[in-house]
């Protein structure tokens, strides 16, 4: 069973020269364009010498972590933290720490994250900033999911959901519903996962969907995953149609808003779907396109899954040597 999209809430730094952070002429990942928003923020960061303005741009870049490679997530977080400390801005420092914790998750260091995250969540600056608090708590839930501590993750997520609903924190509610659905899917409780994702879609559809484009694309992709998993049983045309429908919608939204991580996952899953339904040429194209986008973003957790899927595709069509060489090239 493929992993659902959890999102790290889908949030790396050279030399800094005192308060006048010059960031001269090199930004991590700048050699390869990510998306228009990230490229614009990088240009703004490059063009200013004002520490407070630089800090604002660094934190904005950190919040685009789901479309950034791991080294960039770390760089933006570390530089933001240094400037925040120099400016004695504890709130911005807390947001910078969120970026550094996100880097731990993306680079597969869930153990390290879980060892210290509770002390972070108890900080006054974090407790008082409810958006930051829920984002950080979601990182903890994601780490528990990645360590297969699914029941513990669900317990935490349900507690957070109750709190977020009381506070009318709609975005946090949506992300929590997505996480709960993902945890149930990993427990092989497919119908439970679908219920939670449909609840979240109902909330999105009753509001202004553009506000929640990222989480909407993520949940649509996960519903595509739900129907993809249903294909393992007695296959019906409706399952195939539903799988294609939700994946196409997810990919379209992700492409429109340049949500690279979600787009990569949707393309790879649709490639698997097309392979299963015998459309092999189109499947290979989408698998390679998805992996190409994923490598821009990073996250070895998902890259490994993507490559295994591409290797599985080559194995399915009888290209055994190509399947083996692909995995050997990437992991040696």
pLDDT of residue 275: 86
In a domain, 153, yes or no: no
Buried b (16+ CB within 10 A) or exposed e, 184-221: bbbeeebebbbebbeebbeebeeeeeeebbbbbbbbbb
Residues 221, 108 share a domain: no
Distance CA(66)–CA(10), nearest Å, equals: 4
**Of 121, 149, 174, which closes a domain?**
121
Structure tokens at 231: 């294909």
In a domain, 245, yes or no: yes
Residues 332, 228 share a domain: yes
| Cβ atoms of residues 198 and 186 within 8 Å | no
Q: What is the pTM of this model?
A: 0.80
* CA-only gyration radius of the chain, Å: 20
Structure tokens at 321: 């040597």
In a domain, 136, yes or no: no
In a domain, 145, yes or no: no
Structure tokens at 266: 């949707």
In a domain, 167, yes or no: no
pLDDT of residue 29: 44
Distance CA(172)–CA(160), nearest Å, equals: 9
In a domain, 44, yes or no: yes
Name residues whose C-beta falls within 8 Å of residue 171's C-beta, 6 or more positions apart in sequence: 131, 212, 215
Residues 332, 214 share a domain: yes
In a domain, 141, yes or no: no
**Of 68, 92, 121, which closes a domain?**
121
How many domains would you assign to the chain?
Answer: 2
Distance CA(226)–CA(325), nearest Å, equals: 31
Residues 330, 224 share a domain: yes
Nearest Cα to Cα of residue 77 among 67, 66, 65: 65
pLDDT of residue 36: 86
In a domain, 289, yes or no: yes
CA angle 257, 222, 279 (to 5 degrees): 90
DSSP symbol at 18 = T
pLDDT tens over the chain, length 332 residues: 555 665 433 332 232 222 323 332 233 444 345 678 899 999 999 999 999 999 999 999 999 888 888 889 999 999 999 999 999 999 999 999 999 999 999 888 999 999 999 999 999 999 999 999 999 999 999 999 989 999 999 999 999 999 999 999 999 999 999 999 999 999 999 999 999 999 999 999 998 768 899 999 999 999 999 999 998 766 677 899 999 999 999 999 999 998 988 999 999 999 989 988 889 889 889 988 998 888 777 666 666 676 667 767 776 777 666 666 665 665 55
CA angle 159, 163, 165 (to 5 degrees): 115
CATH number of 234's domain: 1.25.40.10
pLDDT of residue 25: 26
**Of 77, 101, 121, which closes a domain?**
121
DSSP symbol at 264 = H
Name residues whose C-beta falls within 8 Å of residue 137's C-beta, 6 or more positions apart in sequence: 121, 156, 160
Structure tokens at 125: 């600056």
Q: How far is CA 87 from CA 73, 277, 329, in A?
A: 21, 57, 46
| Cβ atoms of residues 110 and 104 within 8 Å | yes
Domain housing 294: 208-332
Distance CA(320)–CA(258), nearest Å, equals: 35
């Amino acid at each position: 069973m493929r992993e659902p999209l959890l999102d790290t809430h889908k949030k790396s730094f050279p030399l800094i020269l005192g308060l006048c952070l010059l960031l001269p002429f090199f930004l991590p990942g700048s050699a390869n364009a990510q998306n228009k928003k990230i490229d614009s923020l990088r240009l703004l960061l490059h063009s200013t010498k004002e520490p407070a303005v630089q800090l604002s741009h660094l934190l904005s870049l950190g919040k685009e972590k789901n479309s950034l490679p791991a080294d960039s997530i770390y760089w933006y977080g570390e530089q933001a933290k240094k400037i925040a400390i120099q400016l004695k801005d504890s709130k911005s420092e807390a947001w910078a720490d969120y970026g550094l914790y996100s880097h731990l998750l993306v680079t597969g260091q869930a153990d390290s994250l879980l060892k210290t995250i509770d002390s972070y969540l108890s900080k006054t600056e974090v407790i008082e900033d409810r958006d930051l608090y829920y984002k950080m708590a979601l990182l903890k839930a994601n780490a528990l999911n990645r360590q297969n501590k699914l029941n513990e993750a669900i317990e935490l997520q349900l507690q957070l959901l109750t709190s977020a609903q009381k506070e009318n924190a709609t975005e946090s509610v949506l992300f929590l519903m997505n996480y709960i659905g993902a945890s149930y899917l990993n427990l092989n409780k497919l119908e439970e996962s679908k219920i939670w994702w449909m609840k979240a879609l109902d909330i999105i559809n009753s509001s202004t969907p553009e506000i929640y484009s990222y989480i909407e694309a993520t949940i649509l992709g996960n519903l595509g995953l739900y129907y993809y998993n249903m294909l393992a049983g007695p296959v019906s045309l409706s399952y195939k149609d539903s799988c294609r429908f939700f994946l196409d919608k997810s990919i379209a939204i992700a492409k429109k808003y340049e949500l690279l991580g979600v787009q990569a996952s949707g393309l790879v899953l649709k490639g698997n779907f097309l392979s299963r339904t015998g459309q092999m040429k189109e499947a290979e194209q989408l698998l390679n396109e998805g992996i190409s986008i994923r490598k821009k973003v990073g996250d070895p957790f998902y890259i490994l899954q993507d490559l295994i899927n591409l290797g599985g595709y080559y194995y399915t069509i009888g290209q055994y040597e190509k399947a083996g060489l692909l995995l050997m090239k990437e992991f040696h």
